[in-house]
Amino acid sequence: MTNEKQWKRDLALVRQTLDGDEVAVAKLADRMKCIPRFLGSINRRAHRSLPMETLQEASQEVALRVWRDRSAFTGQSVIETWVYRYTAHVFQESIK
C-alpha cells in the first residue's frame, strides 16, 4: 500500500471517530498504543531517565491531546507520525 493510500485511510478513520463510530474509536485507540513506545525511545535518545510515573503521565497527556485535537488531523501523514509529534512535544514539556 502506498503512503498516500494509508494517509487517506487514516483520515477516513479519524473522521469516523468524529462521527461517533465506535469501531473506529477502538481502532484509533489501538493505533495510539505506540505512545509509550515513542516516549521510551525519545527518553533513551535524550539520555534521560525520567521516572516511570512521569512517562505514564506523559502518555496519558499525549493520548488526551491527540483525542482532543483529532479533528486537526489532515491526512498528510500516517496517524503514528502525527502522534509522534505530540509525543515529542509532551516529552519536552516533561523535562522542564
**pLDDT-derived band at 1, boundaries 50, 70, 90:** low
SS3 8: helix
* Contact by Cβ (8 Å): 13, 79: yes
Residue 4, pLDDT > 90, answer: no
If 0-12 CB within 10 Å is exposed, 13-18 middle and 19+ buried, where does residue 51 land?
A: exposed
* Contact by Cβ (8 Å): 68, 87: no
Residue 96, pLDDT > 80, answer: no
23-76 pLDDT, tens digit each: 999 999 999 999 999 999 999 999 877 899 999 999 999 999 999 999 999 999
Report how far residue 77's alpha carbon sits from residue 79's, in angstroms, rounded to the nearest whole number: 6
**pLDDT-derived band at 22, boundaries 50, 70, 90:** very high
